[in-house]
Amino acid sequence: MKDKFFKYIEKLQDSITSKLEAIDGSATFQEDIWERPEGGGGRTRVIENGTVFEKGGVNISGVHGKLPASMQAYFKVGDVDFFACGLSLVLHPKNPMAPTVHANWRYFEMYNEQGEIIDQWFGGGQDLTPYYLFENDAVHFHQTCKNACDKHNPEFYPIYKNRCDAYFHNSHRNEARGIGGLFFDYCKATENMSMEQWFAFVSEVGDSFLEAYVPILERRIHLPYTPEERNWQEIRRGRYVEFNLVHDKGTLFGLKTNGRIESILMSLPPHVQWVYDHHPEPNSREEKLVRVLKNPVEWVS
C-alpha cells in the first residue's frame, strides 16, 4: 500500500503543478529534491511572485525510521519504526478576492521489531480560506467535496465536513481559519472498509481538488481590488499563520521528526500583518466574513 500510495501522490503532484503553472502564465515551480538523514526524503515544489500566485507549494514526501520519543508518547506506543508519506499543498493568490487553499493526503504505517505492520491509516482533506466571501464559491467547493464523498459513503461528507470545521479552528481567536471542506484521519481497515477501499476514497478526494478550486480561482483572479482590501487580506493571513504554528498537527509532526524546515514552513505567506486589536467596520464585507467564521455554515445539503 505504501508504494501504491506514493506513486499516486507523485502523479497527483505532477498534474496539480502543471495546471497551476498554466493558470499563472508567468511563474513556474522551483523543485527541490531532498533527503532526510534518518531515512526517506521528498520533492518540494514552490511557486513565488507569479502573475496569480504570490506564493504556493505542492510538496510530497516519504519518510521512515525510528519513531521519535515525543511521537511515541503522542501515539501511545513503544519503540517502533514508522513510514509516512503524503502530499501537502498551500496556495496564496495575490488577489484578495481569490481564496487561499490547503490540501493534504497522507498514509502512515508503524512496525514492530520483526518489521511487521502493527498499524496503518490514511488521512487528509482540503479546505478553503477566503478573504472576501462569495457564497457561490463556498457552495461549489463544498459540493465538489460532497460529490467525491458520496461515491463511497453518503455519511462521509457530513462527518468529515464537521470534523474540518472543528479542526481548522483558532480556539484562541474563537473563529474558524476558513470556510472548511473535509478533514479525515485515522482511516483504518474495518469490516466495512478495507485499506483498498480507503485508498479509493482518499484518491477520489485528491483527484477532486482541481475541480474544487480552479473554477473559483479563475472567477476571482482578475477582479479589481483596492489597497484597503489587500490590507485586509494580509491581516487575515496572520490568522492563517497562527493556526499553522500553534495548532496544525502536520506542522508539529514535521518539526518533531526532523522534517525539512523549508518544506514544513512553505505554507506561510510572504506578506502578513498583525494589527493590534483590529476589528472590521460594522456591516462591511470584512465583517460579513468574520461572522461566518464564528458560526460554521452548512453550504450544501
For the segment 215-263, what is each residue's pLDDT rounded down to a tens digit? 999 999 999 999 999 999 999 999 999 999 999 888 887 887 777 888 8
> Contact, 245 vs 251, CB < 8 A?
yes
Assess whether pLDDT exceeds 90 at residue 72: no
Residue 118 domain-assigned (yes or no) = yes
Residue among 52, 16, 22, 27 at smallest CA distance from 222: 52
Q: What is the CA radius of gyration of the chain?
A: 19
Q: The C-alpha cell of 169 is what?
A: 479552528
Residue 282 domain-assigned (yes or no) = yes
Residue 150 domain-assigned (yes or no) = yes
pLDDT at 89: 97
pLDDT at 61: 94
User: What's 201's domain CATH number?
Assistant: 3.40.1500.10
Assess whether pLDDT exceeds 90 at residue 175: yes
What mean pLDDT comes out for the span 151-165?
98
Residue 65 domain-assigned (yes or no) = yes
Residue 299 domain-assigned (yes or no) = no
pLDDT digits (tens, 9 = 90+) for 74-112: 788 888 899 999 999 999 999 999 999 999 999 999 998
| Predicted TM-score of the model (pTM) | 0.94
Residue 269 domain-assigned (yes or no) = yes
Question: Which of the residues 102, 140, 142, 169 is marked catalytic?
Answer: 102
Q: Whole domain around residue 47: which residue ranges?
A: 2-294
What is the C-alpha separation between 99 and 220, in angstroms, rounded?
8
pLDDT digits (tens, 9 = 90+) for 57-70: 999 999 999 988 77
Q: Rounded to whole angstroms, what are the CA distances from 26 to 45, 50, 101, 268?
A: 16, 6, 20, 21
Residue 301 domain-assigned (yes or no) = no
Tell me if residue 102 is catalytic: yes
- Specify the number of domains making up the chain: 1
What is the C-alpha separation between 244 and 170, in angstroms, rounded?
10
Residue 38 domain-assigned (yes or no) = yes
What mean pLDDT comes out for the span 208-215?
98
